[in-house]
Amino acid sequence: AWKGAPEFSTDDGWSFKPRGRMQVDVGSVDGPSGLASANQAHLGTSVEFRRIYLAFDGTMPGGFGYRTEINVANSDVAINDMYLTYKAGRHVTLTLGNQKPNWGLEEMTSDLFTSFQERASYSQAFGFERRIGLNAQYAGKTVVAQLGVFVDDPKSMGGDTNKSWSVDGRLVAMPKVAGGTLHLGGSVHVRTLNDSIPSVTYQARPFVHTTDLRFVKAGIGDATQERGFGLEAAYVKGRFHATAESFWQTVRRSGFKDPTFNGGYAEVGYLLTDDVSTYKRGTYDRIKPKNGFDKGGIGAIQINGRYEWLDLTDAGIVGGRQQTAGISAIWIPIDYVRFIVDYGHIWVKDSPVTANGDASYGVDAMGMRAQFDF
């Protein structure tokens, strides 16, 4: 079978498929003129490889499977999905290795299929990443349940002094409602921080990823535990989809008050062409244009609008608050190629990065992405 690249398989359960993706981005950020020149240098227009994944997927007789995926976009190796799976039952899969610890709808959706270049900023801020762990998933027709135990990401675990660990669970119901699919979910994350440096830093870029400047940033020392709680809701029907999520992150500290930070977003999207938005067992999936370039058509075009917020100020910590209103247009000439253009206006408040002494101001950001995968 072909899925971007050939998938080889045998009747007795062996299969093998190469796998990869490239995302190349242009991003432009226009901040207030009063920023320090060292900060201004990070703005303007930049180009970068956002992601370059190279991987092998496979299955083996007896119910085993695997993925070995690395990300080389930063001219180094970041270990991505890297795991052994075992199908313990018709609906139950165990996964051992580096994987996403059951975050929310947008984070669990592949970065190939998000509605904007970047996910909502709380996703960056609260450290949603892949970690090494053992996870169990039940994926039924109308319910997905996920529960796992995790340590830290592979690079952090490369040393031997990081003893942090977490329990992460997620539950999703996805009933059919009025001819569409309703998605309702929540996730809970309890993480014991046990590294040699007992601190966490929460920060987020403004709308695009090309700049390294963050207008919101909170460093929290004497941290002993992270507790995260997320809510997810979505409705998908034909050309239309709507999503809303919110996440609360509490940091337990020794000798200080425990701050709780919050972020979230609400989004609607619509396909201008005669295509359908795709949802599959707890995440959004690949939109396959009915009339793509391969058939002489123009492919699929989707437009999206979103409001999102991130508040990193609480309990005496002033990390700032960022609200973003964004619009995007996505063009999908064939199933495995995608172009995105998007624009966002960011309202920054109480920022640690001041402009002429002012901690509140507006920022504009625009981006474009070209992407293929196989």
User: What is the smallest separation between the CB atom of 77 and a copy of itself, expressed in angstroms?
Assistant: 5
- Cα torsion 206, 113, 130, 373: sign: negative
Total interface residues for a copy of itself by CB under 8 A: 74
178, two tokens: 């009025």
Chain positions 126 to 145 lying near a copy of itself, rule: CB under 8 A, are 132
- Binding window for a copy of itself (CB under 8 A); candidates: 39-47, 101-109, 248-256, 344-352: 39-47
Q: Which is nearer to a copy of itself, 209 or 241 (by Cβ)? A: 209
Quote the tokens at residue 218: 């909170």
Q: Residue 214 or residue 321: which is nearer to a copy of itself going by CB?
A: 214
Choose the binding region for a copy of itself from 161-169, 243-251, 302-310, 349-357 (rule: CB under 8 A). 161-169
x/- contact string, 331-350, with a copy of itself (CB under 8 A)?
A: --xx-xx-------------
Q: Would you count residue 363 as binding a copy of itself (CB under 8 A)?
A: no
Q: How far is the CB of 3 from a copy of itself (least distance, A)?
A: 10
Task: Select 148 or 263, whichever has its Cβ closest to a copy of itself.
Answer: 148
- Specify the residue, 232 or 275, whose C-beta has the smaller distance to a copy of itself: 275
Contacts of 185 (CB under 8 A, 6+ apart): 104, 105, 144, 170, 171, 172, 173, 231, 232, 233, 282
CA quadruple 122, 127, 132, 136: dihedral positive or negative?
A: negative
Quick one: which H or E segment has residue 75?
A: none
From the list 145, 151, 174, 348, which residue makes contact with a copy of itself (rule: CB under 8 A)? 151
Q: Which of 11, 33, 61, 178 binds a copy of itself (CB under 8 A)?
A: 61
- Residue choice 13, 140, 219, 238 for contact with a copy of itself (CB under 8 A): 13
Minimum distance from residue 103 beta carbon to a copy of itself (Å)? 20
Q: Is 37 in the site for a copy of itself (CB under 8 A)?
A: no
Query: In whole angstroms, what is the distance from residue 374 CA to residue 371 CA?
Result: 11
Residue 48 contacts a copy of itself per CB under 8 A:
yes
Q: Are 237 and 179 in contact, with CB atoms under 8 Å apart? A: yes
Does 148 interact with a copy of itself (rule: CB under 8 A)? no
- 201 Ramachandran zone, left/alpha/beta (phi>0; psi -120 to 50): beta
Binders of a copy of itself among 227-286, rule CB under 8 A?
none
Six token digits for residue 48: 């970068």
128/137 Cα distance (integer angstroms):
19
Contact criterion met (CB below 8 Å) for 367 and 208:
yes
Q: Tell me, what DSSP letter sits at residue 248?
A: E
Q: Three-state SS for 208? A: coil
Q: How far is the CB of 236 from a copy of itself (least distance, A)?
A: 26
Alpha helices in 4-152 (DSSP H): 37-40, 105-108, 121-125
Q: Which residues 190-219 are close enough to bind a copy of itself by CB under 8 A?
A: 196, 210-213
Report which DSSP code applies to 343: E
List 49, 113, 229, 270, residue binding a copy of itself (CB under 8 A): 49
Residue 117 CA to residue 367 CA, distance in Å, equals: 7
CA–CA separation, 137 and 49 (whole Å): 32
88 touches a copy of itself (CB under 8 A)? no
Q: How far is the CB of 174 from a copy of itself (least distance, A)?
A: 31
114 binds a copy of itself (CB under 8 A): no
